[in-house]
Each structure stands twice: as structure tokens, then as C-alpha cells.
Structure 1
């Protein structure tokens, strides 16, 4: 089969189109004919930094996939050949990735594709949606009536976090950096839009929460923004972050009695633990998509899988607006 193979890690590392053996089906797994994959920032970090959880070289990267089941392994009863499936199922240590014509995936990590979405839209959802679900539902226990602030409300994780929070019944505020993004945020369900370039934390906390702070604040930006979440969160509230790497001063979080949740969505893929939970969550997310209450934002530019290098460069340029998708053509 054709695949985009990586032979080294580092800033100069490039994908090469090569022919490699097609994976053999094994118990508990399905062989997927890949139709689309999506790009996530972690894919760039794996390529350029080669972290401990990166796959062995030569490697096939990218975890998000949508495609058609080609074969099912022993013990798999949830899927059959011909089924359309989606999930985040590889691209890390011990797994193959989605930048290939076929991908072998643990059936527990997959779910039927939303019936109203195509392959590209479906491939854009898994990692960001599972990150948002894990942080807001599993960790922070967002319930109906909660007041939630999402930082980076139109970003990859952020735009889905807004919709997950809405589906859980929350009142949602979100930060953006421009008038154009403010309109996008409103279209996703953000009720209270904050331009972080124009309004300091103290002012929007006073304006929107009478100075008390939000029940839950989700940080999808990272860096110093994590510390900016602390004064925006109510006493004993919850801060969720998907980008906690770095050194941070937790003094204010301690003073306010906050609970900080760090989401590393790839852990079940790397460790093998609790994978079945992701399959169940993806089924619920698919139901939301089919009901019209969850949709991905896709960048207008599309890439072939064979243009993986160009897709990585495009993301690094910062010109994208929405998820970057790669398709087999």
C-alpha cells in the first residue's frame, strides 16, 4: 500500500511517499481503508520533536481517521466490512497512523461515522471532540446551567468545546481575537463573546459573572493563558487545560481552591487503558452531529494525503482557519 513515511524526527524531517506492506488484521482490530485523515498540532509536535510517545521509525503519523472497514479481526462484533467508521486510533508508539491507504485500528477506539457527515468532516472530529468531552464532561462534570468559559473559542479544540458545553446544557462564553472570529463563535453557540485583545480578564469577569468567576474555564491556548484562567474561575471552580506544558505559578489557583484538570487525549492509545470509553463517546458525539448540534469547522484548503508536508507547512504558517483535512484522491 502507499503511505507517507517518516524516517527521522526533527524540524527538517519530511514525509516520503513509499510502498509498504499492508497491515494484517489481528484480534480485536479492524483494517480500515482510509478515506480521510485530519491534522492536529500534536502531529506536528511528533514529527518535529519525536517525543517518547512517538511511533518507532520509520513511522506513519496522524491519529484522526475516517474510512471504510475492509476486514475485521477475531472477536470484533461491532463492525463488519463496508461499515463507515471514524476515530482517533493511531500515529503514536505501538500503532500505525492514518497517512496510509490502510490503517489497522483497535475496534474499541472506533465508532460508526455520523450519517450526515462525509469522510473529511468525520475525520476532523475525533481528537478535538474527545479532548473537549474528557475535559468538560469526564473531569469538570459540566451540568445544565453551568457557566463555562472557553479560551480560543474558534480553534481546533475550542470550537468543539463550545459545542460540547452547549450540548451539556451550559451557558457558554468564549474568547476570540477578531470581529470575524466573534461571528464564527456566535454561530457555534457562544452566548457571550470576549475579545481578549480589547477586554482584560478582570473586566469581563466583572461584566459577565458579577466578579464571581466562571464555574469552569477551559484553556486551549496554553502558555501564560493558563495562569490567566485562575482569576476568571470562581472559588472552588474547575480549570481544564489541554496545553499545560511549561512552568506555571499556581499560587492564585491555590488561593482560590481551584481544581486543575490536564487533558492528554492520547493516553489510552499509548497505554492501552480505557480505550473502549472513547468508542462509546464517539457514538454519542455522532448522535449530536446527526441532530445538528455538533459540526466541525474545516479550512477551505484541502490536501491530498500525499501532500502531508505541505499540510504541515500550512499549519505552521498560521494561515489556516478551521481543521486541516487530508484526503485520498
Structure 2
């Protein structure tokens, strides 16, 4: 990228002008924090599957008008504090899910003015890249397991997609809250799933009936968290415990028959993590959840799995391509500040 053409406060950002278009390097005015906001110098931007869907025009629920700066997760340093903000001060290292949807500026830029309710102080023992990988997936895991299912000690929890973005965080969160955790994945993912404290289940070779019988004596799991959607959500209805069981999904977009769930007398919840960003309501809860993430990370109970490839603003297109192609080996992060 070139250097700034003027002395006016500006920033470099990647702008998506049209669906399926390029992420174009662009000079823009540096934002100023309004009341209730802080200006963050962005060090790292997390890339999520939803970013690639927005770019492809396949995410109507995200409501991001173009042209736009994408990127929902960020980690960085507070540069300025807007009126009425007392939780943060200049120099604080922070992270959160702060934009990239709902008309809000995303994190593929050098700076962003963000709602202070959405962020928390970054864990001292994780890097900026690791911090930028956590917000959206951790909030999604927390809302499902804690807010909806009230996970705790003594629960048997099944996480579908235990090595995925939300899944690997959900496993660690459930473990930290005292649950006995099981997670589906491929045979190649078994070692990693085991390393984060869950019993791996090879979904390609093991039927729902077989693993329910093997791990719950046929009774079913107390909590089933579906992070995959489609037929996996249908399978979740067959794997949950009768009467007291609870199924949660973060991808319940399809049409599903609820009869199998009803026949088991179990309950069901959906998670829509974007809602506070889109509506402006309950944003403080996202900040509260991120504070919980900080506590768990600093206690050694939460660590994101990162794809080893290093991307910058110059190569962010390749980061999107890696994720869209399904070739990522962990969370994909773009380093904004070298």
C-alpha cells in the first residue's frame, strides 16, 4: 500500500464496493469517537465465514450495505475515548465483535470508532492475533451454553463440530464450567478434540444411536450444541436426553421437523449473535461476555486454534479465499499492524 497522500488524519482500509468484488485498498478519513465510543488502533482482524457470505451477497440477515469495510472481530489499542466512557482509557489493549454488519465499519482498517459496550480488555496472556480470533465465536458459544442451556457441573454435553470455530471454543467453555464434554469431528480431528478436553466422536463412522448408547447408556446428552446446521441439527434432536435435555443451534436456518425433539420431551433454543449489533439493544451483554472470555483465557482455560498462515491488509483477499475454500486449519486472522 502507498503512504498517506495528505497530512489530514487518514487511515488505510479495505473497501468492498460490490458483491463478489475485490477488497480495495482505500484512503479514508480517520474516524472520531462519538459519545459512548472509543477509537481503536486495530492490530488484528478476525475473519469469519459470515464475512465471505457478506462479500458474496449471500447474507441478507447481516444487513451490510455497500460500499463497506468488512471484518467483525478486532483486537487493538485504545487511541481516544469518547464522552461518557469510563471503562477504558488511552493505551488499553481491547478486543471485541464491533462491526462489519448493520452498516457499522468493520475491522479491515487501521482504525475504528466502536461502541465501548461491545469490547473488553484483552487477556494479558494472548497475542493480538489470538484475541482477534475469539469474539464472535466465544459470544456465540456463551449465549448457547450459558445463557440458554445453563451448562454446569454434572452435565454431559455434546458439541457438534468440536474442531470448528464456534465448536472448539464451546468445548473449552463447557469444560471450564465443569461439564463432561463430547465432540463430533473427523478421525483427523480426534487428537485436537482430545487435547482440549473432549471425548472425540467420529461422525463419519459412528451413528447417533451408537454414540448415544456408548456415552450416555442410551439416555441422551443433557445439552447438545449444534454448530453445523442442516442434518446435524436433526441428529441433535435424536441425541438429546429425554425430558431434561436441551438442544441449542447457532445455524438453524433450514426447515426441520420438531417431532423427534417433542417425542423426547426436550427443549430447543437458537442463537443469533448478530442481534445486539443490528438492533443496538443489549450490547453491554456482549462486553460482559468478552470479560468472561478474558477471565477464562487468563486462567489458562481458553485458547483459540489459529490457522498458521500470516495475512496482512495486502493479502486479506487470500485470507477470505482460504476460508471460503474450506482449507483453513483454525481461525483465520489478518494482521493489520505489523
> Given the two structures, how large is their TM-score scaled by the length of structure 2?
0.94
C-alpha displacement at 1:54, in angstroms? 2.8
Aligned partners of 1:105 and 1:285: how far apart in 2?
Answer: 19
Paired position in structure 2 for 1:205: 212
Paired position in structure 2 for 1:181: 189
Aligned partners of 2:303 and 2:319: how far apart in 1?
Answer: 22
- Secondary structure (helix, strand or coil) at the match of 1:235 reads coil
| Matching of residues 1-329 of structure 1 within 5 Å | 1-9=11-19, 12-48=20-56, 49-178=58-187, 180-190=188-198, 192-236=199-243, 237-328=245-336, 329=338
- Given that 2:173 and 2:302 are in contact with CA atoms closer than 8 Å, whether structure 1 keeps it comes out as yes
For residues 139-180 of structure 1, the C-alpha deviation after alignment (integer angstroms, 9 at most, x for no partner) is 0111211100001111000000000101111000011112x3
Aligned partners of 2:114 and 2:55: how far apart in 1?
Answer: 21
Aligned partners of 2:203 and 2:250: how far apart in 1?
Answer: 19
C-alpha displacement at 1:52, in angstroms? 4.6
- Given that 2:186 and 2:204 are in contact with CA atoms closer than 8 Å, whether structure 1 keeps it comes out as yes
- Given that 1:151 and 1:217 are in contact with CA atoms closer than 8 Å, whether structure 2 keeps it comes out as yes
C-alpha displacement at 1:214, in angstroms? 0.1
Aligned partners of 1:140 and 1:284: how far apart in 2?
Answer: 17
- Given that 1:160 and 1:296 are in contact with CA atoms closer than 8 Å, whether structure 2 keeps it comes out as yes
Task: Count residues with an aligned counterpart.
Answer: 325
C-alpha displacement at 1:299, in angstroms? 0.5
Name which of structure 1's ranges 302-311 and 88-97 shifts more when overlaid on structure 2.
302-311
For residues 74-118 of structure 1, the C-alpha deviation after alignment (integer angstroms, 9 at most, x for no partner) is 000010111100000101113110000101110000000000011
C-alpha displacement at 1:193, in angstroms? 1.5
Aligned partners of 1:259 and 1:32: how far apart in 2?
Answer: 41
- Given that 1:30 and 1:73 are in contact with CA atoms closer than 8 Å, whether structure 2 keeps it comes out as yes
Aligned partners of 1:50 and 1:155: how far apart in 2?
Answer: 20
> Given the two structures, how large is their TM-score scaled by the length of structure 1?
0.97
Aligned partners of 1:41 and 1:316: how far apart in 2?
Answer: 7
C-alpha displacement at 1:53, in angstroms? 3.0
C-alpha displacement at 1:50, in angstroms? 4.8
- Secondary structure (helix, strand or coil) at the match of 2:241 reads strand
Q: Where in structure 1 are there 5+ consecutive unaligned residues?
A: none
Name which of structure 1's ranges 157-166 and 234-243 shifts more when overlaid on structure 2.
234-243
- Given that 2:50 and 2:59 are in contact with CA atoms closer than 8 Å, whether structure 1 keeps it comes out as no
Aligned partners of 1:13 and 1:235: how far apart in 2?
Answer: 49
Aligned partners of 2:61 and 2:28: how far apart in 1?
Answer: 24
Q: Displaced runs of 4+ in structure 1, greater than 4 A?
A: none
RMSD over aligned CA atoms reads 1.0
Aligned partners of 2:302 and 2:33: how far apart in 1?
Answer: 32
Paired position in structure 1 for 2:4: none
Paired position in structure 1 for 2:7: none
For residues 202-226 of structure 1, the C-alpha deviation after alignment (integer angstroms, 9 at most, x for no partner) is 0000010010100000011111110
- Given that 2:96 and 2:132 are in contact with CA atoms closer than 8 Å, whether structure 1 keeps it comes out as yes
